Chain A
Amino acid sequence: MAHQAHSYHMVDPSPWPIFGAAAALLTTSGLIMWFHYNTSTLLMAGLLSMLLVMLQWWRDVIRESTFQGHHTPTVQKGLRYGMILFITSEVFFFLGFFWAFFHSSLAPTPELGGQWPPTGINPLNPLDVPLLNTAILLASGVTVTWAHHSITEGNRKQAIHALTLTIALGLYFTALQAMEYHETSFSIADSIYGSTFFVATGFHGLHVIIGSSFLTVCLLRLIKFHFTSNHHFGFEAAAWYWHFVDIVWLFLYMSMYWWGSC
């Protein structure tokens, strides 16, 4: 059939979904081999194949949309639903770790000294680097909004400046958190306090890195003229994800850093 009589995108056959599943299998079984049998080859193969699948699959989406024109408003609407549903699933992911934190901190056991923070734990001062990190992420939310409006208004130079500033703030946050991780007097092995703190903030940090990477891809695409003033969903998805990362941090800051240190 030469022309389609509908506004949807019937995607060409692609190897990436099944390769992605294979990469997930290699990564999970690789983790087991690393944890229990002290060998990291399978894990490295899994992570490498995961990276290759992501690069090639998303490259193909850009080809189909920007260069082949398959992303009609209908298709874009579906992608919006998809991104919103994905972010919602991530909200539930973090909810689990917050549940664990409150379960342990609202009724601290005798083994912890019957108090929170537990006996012997010196928590971070929330008004020190954690407050700076809060300001950084909030500021990056402002700059990414500036970038979005610049794109909508067709101002290329300002859009590039604003998005670059956003990414720089994200990298600054990551660097500061890495430094904090190295400087804390407590570690992940220090009671349930350490477990909840580092698993929750650790997954958050991973999401900051993912979000920064997504924004960087958008910056490269912006420079290469992929976006128009009224069709730039890749950027919008990245901005939504970035706001989500910011909001998770605000909850982490209020509960673990601030309330959890008193």
Chain B
Amino acid sequence: MAAAAAHEGGGARLWKTLSFVVALPAVGVCMLNCYLKAQHKHERPEFIRYAHLRIRTKPFPWGDGNKTLFHNPHTNALPTGYEDEN
């Protein structure tokens, strides 16, 4: 164990430094960027009944079969339109 430690001296210190000086600050900068972008809200697009969108070839095997797994009533329209508009 001592022999192995003597051979690899410094490797862990380099990667620890890279973690705290480069990698994690980069994550922090990107977090700040996301936070600033989230400050201005955007309008949701109007509903146009395109045939290639909101495809329902067969019902989903959950709920009423009409909503996708991560359905969001505010951002995802059903084939008939946004739920909160009708």
Contacts and interface: CB of A to CB of B under 8 A. Distances in A.
Interface in A160-189: 162, 165, 169, 178, 181-189
A232 B23 CA distance: 25
A146 B15 contact: yes
Interface in A175-219: 178, 181-191
Given A122-B45, A145-B15, A185 B75 contact: yes
Given A128-B37, A131-B30, A191-B55, A139 B75 contact: no
B69 A154 contact: no
B50 A119 contact: yes
Interface of B: 1, 4-5, 8-9, 11-12, 14-16, 18-19, 22-24, 26-27, 29-31, 33-34, 37, 44-45, 48, 50-56, 61, 68-72, 75-76
A125 B38 CA distance: 12
12 contacts: A128-B33, A128-B34, A153-B8, A155-B12, A158-B16, A162-B19, A185-B45, A185-B75, A186-B76, A188-B69, A189-B68, A229-B1
A131 B71 CA distance: 23
A234 interface: no
Contacts of B9: 153
B22 A183 contact: no
A191 B53 contact: yes
